[in-house]
Structure 1
Amino acid sequence: MNIGRCGRIGIAWGWAAVGLSAIPAWAAPSFDPVFSDHAVIQRDRPVIVTGRADAREAVSITLGAATRQVKAGSDGRFEARFDALRQAGPVELSAWAASGTVTARDVAVGDVFLCSGQSNMELEVRNAQDAVGQIRGSADDRLRLMLVPRAVADEPLRDFPKAPAWKVAGPESVADFSAACFYMARELRKTAKVPIGAISSSWGGSRISPWMGAKAQAQVGQAAQSALVSLHGRDPFAAERQASAAWEAWWRAATGDRTGWEPWQPAARIAWTPVPRIGAWENWGVAQTASYDGMGWFRRKIDLTAEQAKATAKLSLGLLDDVGRVWINGKPVGMSARSWMPSSFDVPPGVLKAGRNVLIVNILDNYGNGGLSGPADIMTLTVGPDVVPLADGWQYSLPAKTPDGAPRVPWGDTTGIGTLYNGMIAPLGPIGLKGVAWYQGESDVDLPGYDARMTAMIADWRRQFGSPDLAFVAVQLAAYGSPVTQPGESGWAAMRQVQYRAMARDPHGGLASAIDIGDPFDMHPGEKQEVGRRLARAMRAVAYGEAISRTGPQADRATASGDGGATVTFVGLTGALRTRGSGQAIGFELCGAGADSCRFVPGRVEGTRVVLAGDGQPATRVRYAWANAPVVNLYDDVPLPVGSFELPIAAER
């Protein structure tokens, strides 16, 4: 796959068991990164200061004028609870113990916001519109930023694998920070009049499921998969054995292959073709693979002596992009679901044999580049003291069709079960927050159940951060692709409606629509200043209680009119509805019962309503902006756009 905005590069942590089996002795107490120099502590709520010291060591902690005495646990972790602080100038946070002292300086008390999601939240200021000027003028010592490094874990981590740090806003810290998050925080600085802290924790291309903790997974019926991920952290081979058995059973059911004749068996009847070279199959110069996304099989024969076959063996195959599964002599050896991490497998005893061995690799490429990506020089089979190179001699075969519904590997990075929550949200601990900004959904388009997953994730995060009424504002997907000229179905429009309904149902939820500020040629539109302004406006409603709309203008109901048309009534708008560039509202559809019954109709704006005239055809539904990249021109007085919706037409009152 391509290493781009939705790519999988950066710091990542393979297993969750780090630091749990052996607790080191610390040279001195240390605070968790959220309490480093230049930190912002959430005002007006109790403060829980966390950190590490020597196991069972007594620690004295001072925050401002208050001091607490605590004792570290057997794992060296400590917590100190302080009463809520009001807005204050810089304070010091210090810890004393027999092993030493530590002080966090220039700690501000204000409001803290967490920003998370996929690539449109991750997009840096330096890659957004007007980057040079915005970076040059970004200095603000009362705005603090923390960028969480990418990390994957099978179990919730207490410590970040690579510690982030708070930085004062300025050209050096802002350039690589989330543009949407920075611009939201900058807007809130203008109205809140207190120090603002913004934490960005995002991963391009990620679905929502990796951001959901175990409790959220259980709420949506994924408890078993979540438990399998946890098992993978403790015993990778046991988890992979379970996952392989499920995958093999799925393959037989999906293809009808008999046991013993599947593609991973040496006896399988498959037409094999020599692999031109190690690397992405898109770069082979082969027409069939030039733009291929799907499944591919690879085979290599390995000859071993009897002594080698009995030796301890390790198989290294480099990068398997995106998901790789490995068999030797028809027996599962392992799998890789982290395409940025070179694969390495301990070969179970009894798998290798003297003479000819057959190594089979299945690759599932979801998007971008795929295949055995190497590098070739690290592809080896180590048997005892001997190293067998595996850089050449490979063959491949592509199935006529990739079967649908393959069980996914639950410990994957961007598609896993809880893996990003474990590595990038859990280590934040019980930090106090004012609100959360969420920009995600592109990777979940056309996947059912997003509403339930989003609701469960929000509840889980509120539990972690100890705030049942924590404000949560989601960005409604921007337009992407070519404008349509005929009505049709749209997964992006359906996702926008799901996002609105989830936020409207949540009394502490808000919505910032980006439907009108997309880019037809780029899924990552550069206009992030307006996204930030809209996020800040919604946050002012749900986090600060301002008497303004928390969702922007939204369709409330559609009522039949006497001429066979409909009248759509809107709520959440400021002032009245307005059209831009035309005297009519563009993008409305009247639809009958059939999937292909929708047709465009003009809309006449009347205050907070839009009237759609009948056209002599049956109408049971109304749709608006129902496309991936709709043409929209309906706004309120802010101006905020009306987003995608579909409503049934109720009988005339």
Structure 2
Amino acid sequence: MNLRWLKSGTLATLFAVLLVGSLQAELTMPALFTDHMVLQRDKPIFIWGTADKGAKVTVTLGEQKTTITANDIGKWKAELKPLPAGGPHEVAVRSGEAEKVITDVLVGEVWVCSGQSNMQWNVLSSNDADMEKLTAKYPEIRLITVPRIGTQEPQDDFDDKWQLCTPETVNEFSAVGYFFGRQIHQTLDVPVGLIDNAWGGSSAEAWVERDLLKSSGKFDELLARWEKTEETYDHENALAQYKKNLDAWKEKVVQAKKDGKPQPGGQPRPPLNPLTRQHRPANLYNGVLNPIIGYGVRGAIWYQGESNAGRAYQYRDLFPLLIQNWRDKWGQEDFPFYWVQLADFREERDQPDDSAWAELREAQTMTLDKLPQTGQAVIIDLGEAEDIHPKNKQDVAKRLARLALANDYGYDIVSQSPRYKSMKVDGSDIVLELDTYGSQLDSFDTRALQGFTIAGEDKKFVNAKAVIVDGTHVRVSSPEVKAPVAVRYAWGDNPVANLQNKQGLPVTPFRTDDWDGVTKDAK
């Protein structure tokens, strides 16, 4: 730059500006740390961001103050002592002359709301949306949503900010997440923060670190298929082919108009890039989970499984791996992880049949015995045969909230659906014992029990008669099976089944056998 024409005063001013700029540290923080955020009570508070390499960063919250040094790539992370529920507070972060102040900060309960489309499903599309909107006036419930980004590169931030729950902000938020958070807020009377990072249609493997999938040795075929896709897929070529097909279709439309014929169907759709979507292993772990890992939370609620139903046996290993992966990376011990079991869906059948969806539900249930601090909301009675997205999200959320209120907040309420415990052959009958977790068995709609099938050594199941013997036992039989060896209950895509407990929680679908299922060899 030629500076000879500058007057000495102007030159001095310029150098002063440059000097101040060089001394002023860059200071940034992720979207999680914005006005109206909710911090998890009674747990260490972590706040992080970036500054200049080696810069001193001071974080102040109330009477607490801590100073840390940014590392050699400019990252810093501050730890503050736990706080009780309350607020509002201010968080001030300073580095050199730079300062950021976060206002209206509350301390309460924070939950991650994750999974696929049934968790992403918003309030506006759920039952009684107009009524729900009218009452969504909860300034101490705060909402934030992670935009959907699928990538193999770990993301540190996202584009959104915390918002107060209002009739305007609640519309597009996760319905299950909001209804769950509302129940927690109303019961505990403390602030609640909800982080929604669900992505419709997502596969479980997309939510797990890629290296962990590789090192487990149980997903080699799955990863091999993806490696082939990664080597061969060319999105630019796919777009070019789509444009050719679209042009050809448009020509047919023009010709049809000239000929007075109906417009042709089959309009080509633009290709979706599988490399940036929600099925590729680790894509969502990196894109929508990594940016929130480490933020203080009470736990996670999860609604996913539909996209993995065709590989249900694989899910027996994949789902626990996912949960443990999250917990290990969060570094917050075994935080609660509660999920929704798959709802009833597709056509009802009046005869016993194999079912991939039943096997996926079984894999979900098995996870209860593999990991601590887990829970399952059974909704085999809340689905819709012709809609994979049941609109009754209120009852789904209440069943999740029961788990949290009983397990994490000390409320003396029945929270778990009854589960199969053991069986005993008694002549031509099988007597089942169920664990009812402090409740009693009951039936819904009719006194006659529905949903039971029974089989002998030939493995051919037939519809069975079943009666409640006492509060925890059921006797099952059929004149067609003289020497029974196995019973199944609610085993199907959309089973007609009506056994529940006194609180209306449906019995968890189960089978007493371990015969090979239809998804056993699916990888």
TM over 0.5: yes
Tell me, which stretches of 5 or more residues in structure 1 are unaligned?
1-23, 233-238, 246-273, 293-317, 323-335, 338-410
Q: Aligned runs of 1:180-579 on 2, under 5 Å? A: 180-214=176-210, 216-218=212-214, 220-221=216-217, 243-244=231-232, 277=247, 321-322=271-272, 336-337=273-274, 411-447=275-311, 448-562=313-427, 564-579=428-443
Name the residue aligned to 1:123: 121
Higher alpha-carbon deviation: 150-159 or 217-226:
217-226
Name the residue aligned to 1:598: 461
SS at match of 1:570: strand
Query: What is the CA deviation profile of residues 277-303 of structure 1, one whole-angstrom value per residue up to 9, with x for unaligned ones?
Result: 4679xx999xxx9789xxxxxxxxxxx
Q: CA deviation at 1:224?
A: 7.8
Query: What is the CA deviation profile of residues 418-455 of structure 1, one whole-angstrom value per residue up to 9, with x for unaligned ones?
Result: 00110100011311111110100000002131021111
Amino acid at match of 2:302: W
Kindly tell me: are residues 136 and 219 of structure 1, through their superposed partners in 2, closer, same or farther at Cα, counting changes over 3 Å? Answer: farther
8 Å CA contact retained: 1:590, 1:623: yes
Kindly tell me: are residues 98 and 542 of structure 1, through their superposed partners in 2, closer, same or farther at Cα, counting changes over 3 Å? Answer: same
Tell me the matched-pair count: 475
Q: CA deviation at 1:243?
A: 2.6
8 Å CA contact retained: 2:55, 2:70: yes
RMSD: 3.3
Counterparts of 1:454 and 1:103, CA distance in 2: 40
Q: CA deviation at 1:572?
A: 3.7
Counterparts of 2:338 and 2:395, CA distance in 1: 15
Tell me, which stretches of 5 or more residues in structure 2 are unaligned?
1-21, 234-243, 257-263, 515-523
Counterparts of 2:53 and 2:406, CA distance in 1: 45
Counterparts of 2:344 and 2:73, CA distance in 1: 49
Q: CA deviation at 1:503?
A: 2.1
Q: CA deviation at 1:548?
A: 4.5
Query: What is the CA deviation profile of residues 505-548 of structure 1, one whole-angstrom value per residue up to 9, with x for unaligned ones?
Result: 32200011111111111100100000110010012233334455
Query: What is the CA deviation profile of residues 176-215 of structure 1, one whole-angstrom value per residue up to 9, with x for unaligned ones?
Result: 0000010011111122221111111111111100011245
Amino acid at match of 1:173: T
Query: What is the CA deviation profile of residues 399-426 of structure 1, one whole-angstrom value per residue up to 9, with x for unaligned ones?
Result: xxxxxxxxxxxx4522111001101000
Structure 2 length-normalised TM:
0.83
Counterparts of 1:226 and 1:35, CA distance in 2: 37
Counterparts of 1:94 and 1:183, CA distance in 2: 32
Counterparts of 1:25 and 1:591, CA distance in 2: 79
Structure 1 length-normalised TM:
0.67
SS at match of 1:107: strand
Q: CA deviation at 1:644?
A: 1.6
- What percentage of residue pairs aligned between the two structures are identical? 30
8 Å CA contact retained: 2:152, 2:283: yes
8 Å CA contact retained: 1:558, 1:648: no
Kindly tell me: are residues 420 and 25 of structure 1, through their superposed partners in 2, closer, same or farther at Cα, counting changes over 3 Å? Answer: farther
Q: CA deviation at 1:36?
A: 1.1
Mapped pair 1:641 → 2:489:
no
Name the residue aligned to 2:66: 68
Counterparts of 2:33 and 2:23, CA distance in 1: 21
Name the residue aligned to 2:240: none
Mapped pair 1:611 → 2:470:
no
Structure with more strand by fraction: 1
Name the residue aligned to 1:52: 50
Counterparts of 1:47 and 1:462, CA distance in 2: 17
Counterparts of 1:541 and 1:451, CA distance in 2: 26
Counterparts of 1:228 and 1:50, CA distance in 2: 37
Amino acid at match of 2:330: F
Name the residue aligned to 1:106: 104
Kindly tell me: are residues 495 and 290 of structure 1, through their superposed partners in 2, closer, same or farther at Cα, counting changes over 3 Å? Answer: farther
Kindly tell me: are residues 134 and 583 of structure 1, through their superposed partners in 2, closer, same or farther at Cα, counting changes over 3 Å? Answer: same
Name the residue aligned to 1:295: none
Structure with more helix by fraction: 2
Name the residue aligned to 2:17: none
Counterparts of 2:212 and 2:468, CA distance in 1: 42
Counterparts of 1:241 and 1:626, CA distance in 2: 35
Counterparts of 1:429 and 1:643, CA distance in 2: 32
Counterparts of 2:492 and 2:221, CA distance in 1: 34
8 Å CA contact retained: 1:214, 1:226: no
Higher alpha-carbon deviation: 446-455 or 173-182:
446-455
Amino acid at match of 1:213: E
Name the residue aligned to 2:241: none
Amino acid at match of 1:602: K
Kindly tell me: are residues 603 and 241 of structure 1, through their superposed partners in 2, closer, same or farther at Cα, counting changes over 3 Å? Answer: closer
8 Å CA contact retained: 2:419, 2:436: yes
SS at match of 2:424: strand
